[in-house]
């Protein structure tokens, strides 16, 4: 059996990103982030609610979300959108960014090539990992919502 490490965005990761971007929304300066029910996110983003519930619980357990019980309850970001990066979300939901194990900074495993230090494949895959990491770790939810709002405004579409 071949075990593979993939830097691939799963449905779990995709749905998690979409939910977090939705929760980041575009809050008014100084206003608290809204508490949003799973049902609202599920309907708006077309994500199965049971699956979304599992994803949001994972993100809550990792410290990126808080929840409020009862009437008016739901989920909300644990930190400002500017302090949550796409890299954090990806790693929580989909694991390491490395395309092969021997370049992973989170879950390194030797690959078995004769000279790992000079292996051409490892050198290139390290570059791939670093490029992906740089983009995801330097992009916050605030950056994404700002970009999204800008495109929507340009296209004459309304948010939410």
* DSSP codes of every residue in 101-128: GGG-SSS------S-GGG-HHHHHHHHH
Distance (Å, rounded) from C-alpha 15 to C-alpha 13? 5
The confidence score (pLDDT) of residue 110 equals 85
**Is pLDDT of 30 > 80?**
no
Beta strands in the chain (DSSP E): 65-68, 74-77
Give the total number of structural domains in the chain.
Answer: 1
Domain that holds residue 100: 11-155
Tokens standing for residue 20:
């977090």
Is 125 inside a domain boundary?
A: yes
* CATH number, domain with residue 51: 1.10.10.10
- Residue-wise pLDDT for 118-157, tens only, equals 889 889 988 988 999 999 999 999 999 999 989 988 998 8
Tokens standing for residue 7:
């830097």
Q: How many H-runs (helices) and E-runs (strands) does the chain carry?
A: 6, 2
Is 15 inside a domain boundary?
A: yes
Is 5 inside a domain boundary?
A: no
Is 2 inside a domain boundary?
A: no
Is 1 inside a domain boundary?
A: no
Is 160 inside a domain boundary?
A: no
25-53: average pLDDT: 86
**Is pLDDT of 108 > 80?**
yes
């Amino acid at each position: 059996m071949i075990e593979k490490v993939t830097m691939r965005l799963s449905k779990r990761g995709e749905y998690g990103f979409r939910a977090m971007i939705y929760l980041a929304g575009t809050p008014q300066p100084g206003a608290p982030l809204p508490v949003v029910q799973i049902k609202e996110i599920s309907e708006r983003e077309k994500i199965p609610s049971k699956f979304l519930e599992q994803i949001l619980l994972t993100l809550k357990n990792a410290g990126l979300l808080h929840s409020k019980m009862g009437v008016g309850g739901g989920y909300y970001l644990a930190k400002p959108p500017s302090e949550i990066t796409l890299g954090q979300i990806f790693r929580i939901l989909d694991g390491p960014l490395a395309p092969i194990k021997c370049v992973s900074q989170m879950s390194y495993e030797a690959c078995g090539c004769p000279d790992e230090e000079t292996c051409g494949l490892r050198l290139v895959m390290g570059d791939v990992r670093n490029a992906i990491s740089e983009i995801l770790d330097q992009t916050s939810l605030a950056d994404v919502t700002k970009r999204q709002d800008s495109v929507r405004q340009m296209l004459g579409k309304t948010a939410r």
